[in-house]
Amino acid sequence: MLNFKTALSFKYINRVNLNVLVKDSIRSSSKLGWSHMATESDLRDWKPPSKQNKFVTGLRLRNSLKHSENVEFVPEEGRKVKWYTCGPTVYDVAHMGHARTYIACDTIRSIMQNYLNYDVFFVENITDIDDKIIQRALKEGKEFSDVSSHWEREFWSDMLSLGVSLPDCITRVSDYVEEIVEFIERIVSNGYAYESEGSVYFDIEAFRSSGKHAYAKLEPNSFNDLNRILDAEGSLTEVSANKRSKSDFALWKRSKENEPSWDSPWGPGRPGWHIECSAMSSCIFEKGVFDIHSGGIDLRFPHHDNEIAQSEAYFDSNRWVNYFIHFGHLHIKGLKMSKSLKNFVSIKEMLSRYNRRQIRLLFLNARYDSTLNFNYDAEGMDETVKIDDELYNFFSRLNSRLSKPELEQKWSEEHLELSRMFERLKTEVHEAILDNFDTPEVLSLIRKFVTHVNTFMSDVTKTVNYTQALSFKEYLYRILGVFKLVEPGCEYGVDKEVSTSENEKKLLEELVNLRQKTRVFAQAALKSNSTEEAKSILKHCDHIRDVSLPNMGIILEDDGSSVVKYKSLHDQELERLRKEEKKKQREQLERERLEILSTPPEEYIHKSFPNKFGKLDEQYLPVEYIDGTPISKSERKSMEKVNEKVTLWFS
């Protein structure tokens, strides 16, 4: 029985729980039937995930689901970031507009994973069923799938040359047609889509009037933008006359004779554009809700708005993705760079003029979600090349300081001041990153710091301590590494392919050395016939094999073709030493065993313990010491043990 006080606190707890329930019920309103009271505006209202048991870094980002302000990022589950991004439609060469989108995405993914320490699981799709691909295949007289796989390969190759990391998972539409059909069937059975003349359309009116969903959450004002809606349907699409509303979009499109098609309950056809992302993301993120959905800003409406509608219709829930991130466009002379406007510069073309570090710097120097004006002429990249040079020169200078290690100098007020400035830099960089990934601000902070340290180092009365210079370099390389401006284990400005590792330097030195000697020798041999030089060059060749290469940990074996083994000589040496030691131990044991084997049992005890015991019994165990006194019980026992061991060895 509850007493009055307990009852009161019980009531209090109930009220608290009720509060939680009310909040939860709003978030999953459709299931509880509360939603009928909610207006479309209420349903459109974005609510952040609960912070309880979540990894919260203070990251605030621009969420297209919340129009007015940046919002705090809170994962759906612990530290996990489940992320789906719209990949390319693979029918043509990728251009700098694509580079902008995928580098911006790669940058913030890298920040979240490698700097902020979220566990990012990043999925990207490949749209390999699309009217543009069909058109190109028809035009070129090629197999539809040959066209898409060719351009998919080209796309990933471009991404790798830009340093964009591969996704954790890639979903290709043609692999998921069956799942897409099932996805559409459920939307139909939930009452949010209908079949018409072999195609299936999403029923926007049914969706809106359900009282459970709002349509066009990302761009409510684009609701009636028929041009964009029809443009997204694809140029080969026949629009059914029986569509219930002009805004209704295709989930499944009937295919004509010469178009690729897949079986479905509605006859041969192919998936609409929007449905693929809803269906494929649900195959990978099995619980439905995930954290981030991203893509270029042009995808916000109708593509992403329709994806939201489809997924809500499938799960019959008012919540699907927590954060929608959109990347700004690349403009060239005020117009969006695009295939259709023919004002594009391909990634390969750009890479023939600038390296990938410079291209990434160009994009890092603008916010990922802003429009970037790009001038493709001789001066257009000057600012970027200037920043690149500034950083390159700074790190060359810092490395020159670091090439002279010395014992720490006492920290003067100057060193402390420099250290305080460095600590401020780290704090401000962190804050800029948390502020919607403000990479241009990070670059600006780093450049100011670099200028300051340069001035400090130019002052002949001042010295930067070795440990300080090293801390600066390590921190800056870490941040620039997250931005992919510095490759792991490489210096700034040096690609991995042009690494200046110690070993490589030595190798090159050897090569150059040998080459020089060979040349001189060969030149001389053209004139005279001395064998002395030939002997000397052979000696040098042996030296490379016997001294120089082993010192680099490389073993060169002189058979006909010269075999090179890579495993570190040091490690091999250590393994050899350990094996030798074990072998010695085994040999020692073996020697002892042989010794015993060659000893008659009656002699063994006297031989092993000389001058200790006297008489032995019939088991050849001692009964007395050499002076005749009987041996103790414990001595007897230990002798029995010795005997057992010997017997075992004999066996």
Contacts to its own copies from residues 434-473, by CB under 8 A = 465-468, 470-471
Smaller CB separation from its own copies, 89 or 465: 465
Integer CA distances (angstroms), 82 to 118, 241, 350, in order: 10, 40, 32
Helix (H, G, I), strand (E, B) or coil at 515: helix
- What residues from 591 to 630 belong to the interface with its own copies (CB under 8 A)? none
Tokens read off for 582: 């074990």
Q: How far apart are the first and last CA of the chain?
A: 78
Residue 175 CB, nearest approach to its own copies (Å)? 4
* Nearest Cα to Cα of residue 303 among 135, 86, 144: 86
Residue 421 CB, nearest approach to its own copies (Å)? 13
Integer CA distances (angstroms), 230 to 225, 236, 297, 404, in order: 9, 11, 18, 67
* Nearest Cα to Cα of residue 80 among 48, 52, 55, 108: 55
Examine residue 400 and tell whether it contacts its own copies (CB under 8 A): no
How is residue 74 annotated by DSSP? -
Smaller CB separation from its own copies, 27 or 578: 578
Cα 95 versus chain centre, distance? 23
Q: By CB under 8 A, name the one of 69, 257, 459, 497 that touches its own copies.
A: 497
Residue 589 CB, nearest approach to its own copies (Å)? 12
Residue 314 CB, nearest approach to its own copies (Å)? 19
**Residues sharing a CB contact under 8 Å with residue 545, sequence separation 6 or more, in sequence order:** 556, 558
CA distance 562 to 171: 46
Q: By CB under 8 A, name the one of 235, 501, 588, 647 that touches its own copies.
A: 501
Extract the runs of DSSP E, i.e. beta strands, from 299-367: 321-327, 330-332, 335-336
- What residues from 89 to 128 belong to the interface with its own copies (CB under 8 A)? 114-117, 119, 121
Smaller CB separation from its own copies, 300 or 397: 397
Place of tokens 């499109």: 253
Question: How many other β-carbons are positioned within 10 Å of the β-carbon of residue 528?
Answer: 7
Q: By CB under 8 A, name the one of 5, 139, 342, 496 that touches its own copies.
A: 496
Q: By CB under 8 A, name the one of 64, 107, 171, 439 that touches its own copies.
A: 171
Residue 503 CB, nearest approach to its own copies (Å)? 5
Residue 447 CB, nearest approach to its own copies (Å)? 20
Residue 408 CB, nearest approach to its own copies (Å)? 4
Smaller CB separation from its own copies, 302 or 481: 481
Residue 145 CB, nearest approach to its own copies (Å)? 11
The 199-202 sheet, strands edge to edge: 193-196, 199-202, 250-254, 269-271
Examine residue 239 and tell whether it contacts its own copies (CB under 8 A): no
Residue 553 CB, nearest approach to its own copies (Å)? 4
User: What is the chain's Cα-based Rg?
Assistant: 37
Residue 169 CB, nearest approach to its own copies (Å)? 6
Q: By CB under 8 A, name the one of 18, 498, 597, 623 that touches its own copies.
A: 498
Residue 295 CB, nearest approach to its own copies (Å)? 19
CA distance 133 to 139: 10
**Residues sharing a CB contact under 8 Å with residue 610, sequence separation 6 or more, in sequence order:** none
454: buried, middle or exposed (CB in 10 Å: 19+, 13-18, 0-12)?
Answer: middle
CA distance 265 to 256: 16
Q: By CB under 8 A, name the one of 26, 170, 230, 642 that touches its own copies.
A: 170
- What residues from 378 to 397 belong to the interface with its own copies (CB under 8 A)? 378, 385
Q: Is 499 left (phi over 0), alpha (psi -120 to 50) or beta?
A: beta
List phi, psi (to 5°) of 111.
Answer: -60, -45
- What residues from 45 to 74 belong to the interface with its own copies (CB under 8 A)? 55, 57-58
Smaller CB separation from its own copies, 537 or 626: 537
Taking contact as CB under 8 A, which single stretch among the options 235-243, 330-338, 502-510, 618-626 is the one that binds its own copies? 502-510
Integer CA distances (angstroms), 287 to 53, 315, 419, in order: 19, 10, 48
304: buried, middle or exposed (CB in 10 Å: 19+, 13-18, 0-12)?
Answer: buried
Place of tokens 């829930």: 317
Taking contact as CB under 8 A, which single stretch among the options 8-16, 189-197, 305-313, 568-576 is the one that binds its own copies? 568-576
CA distance 280 to 229: 22
364: buried, middle or exposed (CB in 10 Å: 19+, 13-18, 0-12)?
Answer: buried
Smaller CB separation from its own copies, 213 or 357: 357
Annotate each residue in 325-364 with x if it binds its own copies (CB under 8 A) or - if it does not, as one string.
---------------------------xxxx---------
Examine residue 516 and tell whether it contacts its own copies (CB under 8 A): yes
Q: By CB under 8 A, name the one of 490, 596, 621, 642 that touches its own copies.
A: 490
Examine residue 30 and tell whether it contacts its own copies (CB under 8 A): no
Smaller CB separation from its own copies, 177 or 639: 177
Q: By CB under 8 A, name the one of 230, 236, 345, 556 that touches its own copies.
A: 556
Place of tokens 């390590």: 474
Place of tokens 């962190």: 430
Annotate each residue in 247-286 with x if it binds its own copies (CB under 8 A) or - if it does not, as one string.
------------------------------------xx-x
Q: By CB under 8 A, name the one of 14, 24, 32, 78 that touches its own copies.
A: 78
- What residues from 176 to 195 belong to the interface with its own copies (CB under 8 A)? 176
- What residues from 283 to 312 belong to the interface with its own copies (CB under 8 A)? 283-284, 286
Tokens read off for 447: 């450049």
- What residues from 402 to 431 belong to the interface with its own copies (CB under 8 A)? 407-408, 410-411, 416, 419, 423, 426-427, 430
Amino acid at 261: S
Residue 620 CB, nearest approach to its own copies (Å)? 33
Residue 345 CB, nearest approach to its own copies (Å)? 15
